Amino acid sequence: MSRTSAAQNAVVELLRVSPVADDLAARFARAGHSLYLVGGSVRDAMLGRLHGNDLDFTTDARPEQILALVSPWGDAVWDTGIAFGTVGASKGGIVCEITTFRSDAYDRVTRNPEVRFGDTVEADLVRRDFTVNAMAIDLASREFIDPHDGMSALDDRVLDTPATPQESFADDPLRMLRAARFASQLGLTPAPRVLEAMTSMCAEIARITPERVQAELSKLLCGKFPRRGVELLVDTGLAAHVLPELPAMRLEIDEHHQHKDVYEHSLVVLDQAIDLEEEGAEPDLVLRLAALLHDIGKPDTRRHVEGGGVSFHHHEVVGAKMVRKRLRALRYSKDLTEDVAKLVFLHLRFHGYGKGEWTDSAVRRYVTDAGDLLPRLHKLVRADCTTRNRRKANALQRTYDGLEERIARIAEEEDLARVRPDLDGNEIMRLLGLPPGPLVGQAWRHLKELRLDRGPMDHDEAIAALREWAREQGITPA
């Protein structure tokens, strides 16, 4: 993309939202203040990808002056960031964040700056993380301000820093993770000096809270090129501090114990899982995490087999436990953590299917155990086939096609989405004369197991099965 075309893209995108931007700029101009569109908004406008309705501005006005200017203008106004010079406002569905010029100083122990307000846009831009984010548009004159040649960096798809990367990352180590995230989202390649700094300073990421790390990791995995971001984390050593299970999958392979490189295999599975996502849908973070981490239990379960083989028995069980531990440490939600762990636990189940040897009972259990995760499990299992032997790969895919067809047939016949006992808790209590309590739950679970084994029973069969269970337990119906 040439500088001219990038500028044209930016202007086109700017004009699309200009009623709000122009209106806001006019208010600031009447009060004697300048206003600039800045940062990611300018970068994305130049790339023709200004999606969403969030715009970032910077100004010479001080926070209290910003608040006074936008309070009568915005549909909603908030000042939660005013201590850092930021006031937020929404207008006509556009969310605007307006920040006073800053020239912060960092203690380089935490990532919290000592906020200092500045007087020029140039001084504000030099403190920003990357040159592609250090460009501004003067909304009064529509002039591009690019003191660090961010436009050329975009042309060359290079990620560099306005100051030295050592200064930038010492100020805020989170910027190293942001570099990996931009590699994933925008396909940018870090400049050699940035890569060198990330590698030598990777341990500094320990200053960052797990919540911040989690947010960047999630954005990275949901980017357009997540493999690039993951490889950057591993190659620079950052992954060893934020997701150590990932580089641990780089198992040493010797000539006597051949097996796939687990790390490379996991990257291929990630790529293939993404290819199976529905076109036009939002990136599936749960599926992508499960694809990347499905084999993290292999290093801890690797055993050399006599004769030169290698086994990884129960790596799915160990892997599910490791997933829970790591995702909890990264402060992911309980629901997301459990979903990813369950997919990791179940991803090998299909390999016991053979050429269709499962009974209908086994198929029911597969569906029931997966629950709402079944569509994701289908994608994960298919993505996990990375053999270069096309005949073997095609055979596996055909076999899984057959399993899905069986699931569809049984589901149509038996309502698999709602597998449940043929008697509910109230009827169990009535038939056995039991009060609410643990025995009712045991009876319910017994009937559910029968339902999975036999399929649906009619009402009389279910009652007979319940009474037989009660006799075995020594329960005499009232």
- 18, 141: one domain: yes
- 284, 150: one domain: no
Angle at which helix 192-200 crosses helix 226-236, to 10 degrees, equals: 50
> Is-contact 232 249, C-beta < 8 A?
no
Question: Please, which residues have CB within 8 angstroms of residue 468's CB and are 6 or more apart in sequence?
Answer: none
β-sheet bridge partners, residue 158: 189
Confidence bin at 409 (pLDDT 50/70/90): confident
- 112, 29: one domain: yes
> How does pLDDT run across 271-280, given as a tens digit for each residue?
999 999 998 8
- 414, 445: one domain: no
> Is-contact 111 173, C-beta < 8 A?
yes
Whether the per-residue pLDDT at 300 is higher than 80: the answer is yes
Confidence bin at 327 (pLDDT 50/70/90): very high
How large is the C-alpha radius of gyration of the chain? 29
Q: Would 300 be classed as within a structural domain?
A: yes
Q: What integer pLDDT is reported at residue 218 of this predicted model? A: 98
Q: Would 269 be classed as within a structural domain?
A: no
d(CA 293, CA 322): 9
Question: Please, which residues have CB within 8 angstroms of residue 293's CB and are 6 or more apart in sequence?
Answer: 245, 246, 266, 319, 322, 323, 326, 340, 344
> Is-contact 144 41, C-beta < 8 A?
no
- 413, 334: one domain: yes
Burial grade of 244 (CB within 10 A; 0-12, 13-18, 19 or more)? exposed
Q: What integer pLDDT is reported at residue 254 of this predicted model? A: 41
> How does pLDDT run across 167-214, given as a tens digit for each residue?
999 989 999 999 999 999 999 999 999 999 999 999 999 999 999 999
Whether the per-residue pLDDT at 287 is higher than 90: the answer is yes
CA nearest to 350, candidates 325, 320, 370, 330: 370
d(CA 318, CA 326): 12
- 48, 96: one domain: yes
Domain range for 299 is 275-418
Q: What integer pLDDT is reported at residue 471 of this predicted model? A: 84
- 342, 460: one domain: no
Q: Would 25 be classed as within a structural domain?
A: yes
- 148, 9: one domain: yes
Pairing of strands 94-100, 54-59: parallel
Whether the per-residue pLDDT at 421 is higher than 70: the answer is no
Q: What integer pLDDT is reported at residue 221 of this predicted model? A: 98
Looking at residue 141, which CATH number applies to its domain? 3.30.460.10
437-442-447-449 Cα dihedral, nearest 10 degrees: 150
> How does pLDDT run across 101-118, given as a tens digit for each residue?
987 666 566 656 677 898
- 55, 128: one domain: yes
Q: Would 369 be classed as within a structural domain?
A: yes
Q: What integer pLDDT is reported at residue 255 of this predicted model? A: 40
β-sheet bridge partners, residue 143: 138
How many residues belong to the chain? Answer: 478
Confidence bin at 33 (pLDDT 50/70/90): very high
- 371, 451: one domain: no
- What's the whole-number mean pLDDT along residues 433-448? 82
Confidence bin at 256 (pLDDT 50/70/90): very low
Phi, psi of 372 (to 5 degrees): -65, -15
- Please state the separation of Cα 67 from the chain's center in Å: 35
Q: Which residue has the tokens 């270069």?
A: 388
**CA max distance for the chain:** 89
Q: What integer pLDDT is reported at residue 475 of this predicted model? A: 83
d(CA 204, CA 189): 21
Q: How many CA atoms lie within 13 A of 202 on its CB side?
A: 19
Q: Would 220 be classed as within a structural domain?
A: no
Domain edge (last residue) among 100, 126, 156: 156
Q: Would 218 be classed as within a structural domain?
A: no
Work out how many domains the chain is built from and give that number.
3
Mapped onto helix, strand or coil, the DSSP state of residue 216 is helix
Whether the per-residue pLDDT at 257 is higher than 50: the answer is no
Confidence bin at 296 (pLDDT 50/70/90): very high
d(CA 387, CA 390): 7
β-sheet bridge partners, residue 349: none
- 407, 434: one domain: no
> How does pLDDT run across 150-177, given as a tens digit for each residue?
999 998 999 999 999 999 999 899 999 9
Domain edge (last residue) among 126, 156, 186: 156
Q: Would 249 be classed as within a structural domain?
A: no
Q: Which two tokens stand for residue 448?
A: 């559910």
Mapped onto helix, strand or coil, the DSSP state of residue 35 is strand
Q: Which residue has the tokens 């592609």?
A: 132
Q: Which two tokens stand for residue 328?
A: 């909890």
Q: What integer pLDDT is reported at residue 372 of this predicted model? A: 93
Q: What integer pLDDT is reported at residue 422 of this predicted model? A: 65
Q: Which two tokens stand for residue 341?
A: 């762990």
- 462, 349: one domain: no
Domain edge (last residue) among 394, 418, 442: 418
Q: Which residue has the tokens 């189940």?
A: 349
Whether the per-residue pLDDT at 231 is higher than 70: the answer is yes
Angle at 71 between CA 69 and CA 76, to 5 degrees: 135
Confidence bin at 15 (pLDDT 50/70/90): low
Q: Would 265 be classed as within a structural domain?
A: no
> How does pLDDT run across 332-362, given as a tens digit for each residue?
999 999 999 999 999 999 887 777 788 888 8
Whether the per-residue pLDDT at 434 is higher than 50: the answer is yes
- For the ranges 82-91, 115-124, 275-284, the lowest mean pLDDT is seen at 115-124
Phi, psi of 433 (to 5 degrees): 65, 35
Q: What is the mean pLDDT of the chain?
A: 87
Question: Could you say which DSSP state residue 85 is in?
Answer: T
> Is-contact 349 373, C-beta < 8 A?
no
Q: What integer pLDDT is reported at residue 166 of this predicted model? A: 95
Q: Which two tokens stand for residue 383?
A: 């993505």
